Amino acid sequence: MNQLQLFLPCAAGVEGFLADEVHQITGLTGDDLLVGRGGVLLRASWRDALLLNLNSRLAQRVLVQLAQGLYRNENDIYALASGIAWEIWFTPRQSFKVEVTAQHSPLTSLNFAALRTKDAVADRFRAKAGVRPDVDTQWPDVRVHLHLTTDEATVYIDTSGEPLFKRGWRNVKDGGAKGDAPLKETLAAAMIAATGWDPQGEAPLPLYDPCCGSGTVLIEAAQMACRIAPGLQRHFAFEKLLPFEAHVWGAIKEEANSAITTCATGIFGSDISHRMVDFAEHNAERAGVAEALQLRGGDALQRMPPCEQPGVMLLNPPYGERIAAAGAAGQNARERAQQRAHGEAVGREAAEMSGGDGDGGEFFQQLASHWKKNYTGWQAWMLTPDLKLPGKMRLKESRRVPMWNGPIECRLFRFDLIRGSLRARPGDAPASADGT
């Protein structure tokens, strides 16, 4: 196919990292690769679209822009969608669905805008082939995306299908092998990108997550280290579109499989919940990186460095009742399940909903003290919605990176750990000689 206009949406704050990743995957630069609000825009080939679906760890989807124009009402949207050659993308025997997003649209009903777009697609097929395709709102063969701003409408066709954070290794049928509030894989990858951790460098640093949960951060890191493409275990919407050629896709996957290598650095994880460690081990096995990870149970307040070489700690720490002063879990799983059944937010969920004002202050102070005594030379990166966390830990961050966990505004704080006293606060007792 000729050059396509692609849009790769991503979480807010990740756009720059995504642009770097797209460049690494496709080689695109300059006007062919632009950073936009909430994503990256590029002029690329159909093959590039396939490569990005397979290899991008940061994009949410890969969308092909089909039309863009000004609108004042739903009739303008109908006219815009009617002018698209839908017949070169799919057949009337396939089902489709229209999804709408908007920023400051003056329309009173986005559902009606979706309906008019659906009518335009169906009427085009009826005029060209004499038959209308079916609409399937649950499992469509084809997804059409309509995005509205104040006065501009853009129509896309989705080449991804399921969001790209669904890598294919998390088996929801066996309970999901996930914790109370697992990170999306795309956010975990963004955290790794922000640290600058490079497992392919000349002297790669070890990576350690002391609150690993079900292992999302570690698995993303291990797949990066092993050069395992994140999309190798899943299917994509482009496989049902007319431009799809099985032999081209087969060659791309074969190339990706041939690039897989062994991990050249240590990747470690631990969690106070042995149940979560079991989940992480199960997920790592399904993701093909079990041999690259070293997982253990253990309290973050007691666990010593997993290796002699200082490296990178990266964690999305738990909050609320999952933390006691000694690092132990507060409520058991049954109690948490009962609370959720009554619609209550618990654990990390409760902390995030409250803006990070959970009751983990003492835990974080003890964690900071433990790190300063035992993790000299390490970088510690922590993702949190609590913007006051450095003060609670009495540590001075060397960097803070804005990130969004869905609708929740977070910061990824970097702490450079050196031996010494924590910052004293008014009213604190004098520190002892060992820094406690």
- Entry pTM: 0.86
Pure H helices in 232-272: 246-258
pLDDT at 180: 55
Q: Per CATH, which fold does 172-232+262-416 belong to?
A: Rossmann fold (3.40.50)
Mean pLDDT by 10 residues, the chain (436 residues): 91 95 97 94 97 98 98 97 98 97 95 97 96 95 97 98 94 55 89 96 95 95 98 97 97 98 96 94 96 95 95 84 38 51 47 43 90 96 93 94 90 89 49 40
- Distance, in Å, from the CA atom of 250 to the CA atom of 246, rounded to the nearest integer, reads 6
- Go through the chain and tell me how many residues it has: 436
pLDDT at 76: 97
pLDDT at 170: 86
Strands 33-36 and 39-44: antiparallel
Nearest by Cα to 86 from 116, 45, 115, 128: 128
Tokens of 196: 């600058």
Tokens of 98: 């229209």
pLDDT at 173: 60
> Are the folds of 4-158 and 172-232+262-416 the same?
no
Exposure on the CB side of residue 385, measured as CA atoms within 13 A = 20
CATH number at 4-158: 3.30.2130.30
- Sorted by where each begins, the domain ranges of the chain are 4-158, 172-232+262-416
CB environment 80-94: b (16+ within 10 A), e (fewer): bbbebebeebbbbeb
To 10 degrees, what angle do helices 216-225 and 185-195 make? 60
